[in-house]
Chain A
Amino acid sequence: MGGFVSRGFRSRRRPDAETAERLPPGQYLTRDFPVLSAGPTPRTSLSTWDFSVVGALPEPRRWTWDEFQALPTETVTKDIHCVTKWSKFDTVWEGVSLDTLLAGVETDATHLVAFCDGGYTTNLPLAEVTGGRAWVAFTFDGAPLAPEHGGPARLLVPHLYFWKSAKWVRGLELVERDRPGFWETLGYHNHADPWREQRYQGD
């Protein structure tokens, strides 16, 4: 019993070497999956759900839910980091890579703006979401993504603070000029790299 208490104490106060190496500066490890929402949880029927890529490309792309499910999917295991300082290790997601959604697109765009049910937006440089670094995920831990965690589908960009992983995502607008999103226009960092602790503008 004493050993158990001692281990628990040590894990909160001083993470072991492997944990410390995987935790970006200022973060702590949690086993929960906290829910952070800036508005009511939308309930979108799968029969009306679609996903589109619009903006600076010759022809917009659009998939219904069934068409989206038929795209090649990937299962990835990633550590995620919230700007409110919790991190969660080894989260398992299934989704469609943005490499697939943007394959062959001819565009002069430098950035994208993810748009969502409920009006949320977040901006990302195109170079940050290609090369196997971003997905539109629709399962978490092997089960359909719960609405409070962004279901039916959310963006997953695990190398940036988690507000960039927009919940209830419905599409990507390709833009030739960066356009800061919901939190990026309220003082949060435009890029949001947890390893450089880019929490707020000016960090």
Chain B
Amino acid sequence: MERSGNETDRRLDGNAAGGLLAEAFCVEMTTAVVVCAGCGAEAVVAELLRYGHEMGAILRCAGCDTAVVRIARTGDRLWLDLRGAVNLRVSAAP
């Protein structure tokens, strides 16, 4: 995709979002609110249904069973997949 000079000037790399990302990810996640990509229902993460075992945790929508949050630890890495969530909302630091 071609971008105008002005657009390129305005664009920054991911480091520029570092502060916001750190704020978003270093919070108590069980009280976060998610919107299910399957049915649109809104739920607190703690209300999702956890299926899981040693391979990882699958948090599913209580209404439609969509896998909203998937998280797995593989050796020294943590994998997070949020394809099943339209968005995820946490309280911002005051």
Binding site for B on A (CB under 8 A): 36-40, 83-84, 118-119, 163, 183, 185-188, 199-201
> What is the 8 Å Cβ interface bit string for chain B, positions 53-73, against chain A (1 contact, 0 not)?
111101010000111001110
- A119 CA to B37 CA, complexed, in Å: 14
Task: Say yes or no: A83 contacts B55, CB within 8 Å.
Answer: yes
Q: A40-B51, A119-B67 are in contact. Are A187 and B58 (CB under 8 A)?
A: no
**B74 part of interface (Cβ distance < 8 Å):** yes
Minimum CB distance partner of A86 in chain B: B54
* A39 in contact with B55 (CB, 8 Å): no
Those 5 A-B pairs whose CB atoms lie nearest each other, nearest first: A200-B74, A187-B74, A187-B79, A84-B54, A186-B72
The reply to whether A183 and B58 contact each other, CB–CB distance below 8 Å, is no
Query: In the complex, which of the residues A40, A118, A186, A199 contacts B56, with contact meaning CB atoms closer than 8 Å?
Result: A186
Question: SS class of chain B's interface: helix, strand, loop or mixed?
Answer: strand
Q: Point out the residue from B58, B77, B79 that lies within 8 Å of A38, measured CB to CB.
A: B58
> Is B74 touching A84 in the complex (CB atoms < 8 A)?
no
Find the A residue at minimum CB distance from B56. A186
Q: What bracket does the count of chain B residues touching chain A fall in? A: 10 to 19
Q: How far is the CB of B80 from chain A (nearest CB, A)?
A: 9
Confirm or deny: B40 has a beta carbon within 8 angstroms of a beta carbon on chain A. Answer: no
Taking beta carbons and an 8 Å cutoff, which residues of B are in contact with A?
51-56, 58, 60, 65-67, 70-72, 74-75, 77, 79, 81
Tell which of A40, A84, A186 touches B70, judged by Cβ atoms closer than 8 Å: A186
Q: Is A37's CB under 8 angstroms from B77's CB?
A: no
Residue of A nearest to B78 (CB): A187
- Taking a contact as CB atoms under 8 Å apart, the answer to whether B60 and A39 are in contact is yes
Cβ of B65 and Cβ of A186 under 8 Å apart? no
Q: List 10 A-B contacts (CB under 8 A).
A: A37-B51, A38-B51, A39-B58, A119-B65, A185-B81, A186-B71, A187-B56, A187-B72, A187-B74, A188-B55
Most chain B beta-carbon contacts within 10 A, residue among A38, A83, A188: A38
Query: Given the complex of chains A and B, what is the CA–CA distance between A183 and B75 in angstroms?
Result: 15
**Complex: how many Å from CA A83 to CA B58?**
17
Instruction: Give the complex CA separation of A200 and B71 in angstroms.
Output: 14
